[in-house]
Amino acid sequence: MKKTDSKRKRQARETRERILSAAIALVEEKGIDGFTVDDIQERTGCSRGLFYNYFQGLNDIVSEIVGVTENQYISIRDELLSGTRGMEKILLFLQYVAKIHDYHDQQEEKSLLRIHYINLLKSADKSTYVLSDDRLLYVILQQALRECEEDGILADGTDVKQAADDLAVILRGCILDSLFSRDKEYDIIERVGRLTAAYLSGIHTDGVRLGVPAIESADSLSLISTEYYTSLRKTQTTEQDTPDTPNT
């Protein structure tokens, strides 16, 4: 029975990945607004009903493609923020996250981000997740703020969870502002860095006026491309399909 269940789960996962892969290829070929569910059906051989078993619609797929940024936060933390602590870590981290979103503007793919945020607003489950303390964004921010506490540079009475939430609001505000902006020169990285530095200066125990450290280019880590997404999905699928090593 377990083997049958395992086989079904694997087949379901493979079907879902096949639909996603087809959607990603269509994004590359036709753009985010240039294909339909029928196009995905034609590529995969899946029925319309089977498609809707896995996704509520095309917006669901768009959100999943954009949502891969969560996985990139791990790369940013482990590879780009190694050797940093506290407020410096926060300043660099949020600028790198802003750089991820800036990629879409550079590629003139703001429509993809707009669809993603509209989908978040329409879905109670997804919008709740954005504000969850368990979300990796909040976890990294809270860890860095606790480092500030350990180093004695966080003002007495500062609520770490509230401070992490405030910093996330700065980030989200800049992202949405950039989406509303018609100015192609909008510098979301500069604005996130400047506002974050101002906020952190306000909760620094000595009231130190913080500067904004420059970030590296790090295109391979910070840019959201369909190629990056495809490679990440393949890695995740391979890991899921690898059987557990029995205890010896």
Nearest to 53 by CA among 25, 13, 26: 13
Two structure tokens written together for 185:
């020169």
pTM of this prediction? 0.68
Domain spanning 69-223 has what CATH number?
A: 1.10.357
Q: pLDDT class for 100, splitting at 50, 70, 90?
A: confident
The predicted-structure confidence for 17-48, as pLDDT tens digits, reads as follows 888 888 877 876 776 667 889 999 999 999 99
10 has pLDDT over 90: no
The predicted-structure confidence for 154-168, as pLDDT tens digits, reads as follows 999 999 999 999 999
> How many helices (H) does the chain have, and how many strands (E)?
13, 0
The domain 2-57+228-241 is placed in CATH, from the list 1.10.10, 2.60.40, 2.60.120, 1.25.40, at 1.10.10
Q: pLDDT class for 194, splitting at 50, 70, 90?
A: very high
Give the N- to C-terminal CA distance of the chain in Å, as an integer. Answer: 25
Strand partners, 154: 204
Two structure tokens written together for 90:
């926060």
Most confident of 63-77, 82-96, 114-128, 209-223: 82-96
Mean pLDDT of 95-99: 88
Amino acid at the residue 198: A
* CATH 1.10.357 in the chain, residue ranges: 69-223
Q: What is the 3-state secondary structure (H, E, C) of 134-189?
A: CCHHHHHHHHHHHHHHHCCCECCCCCHHHHHHHHHHHHHHHHHHHHHCCCCCCCHH
Q: pLDDT class for 13, splitting at 50, 70, 90?
A: confident
At residue 28, the pLDDT reads 66
* CATH 1.10.10 in the chain, residue ranges: 2-57+228-241
121 has pLDDT over 70: no
Q: pLDDT class for 99, splitting at 50, 70, 90?
A: confident
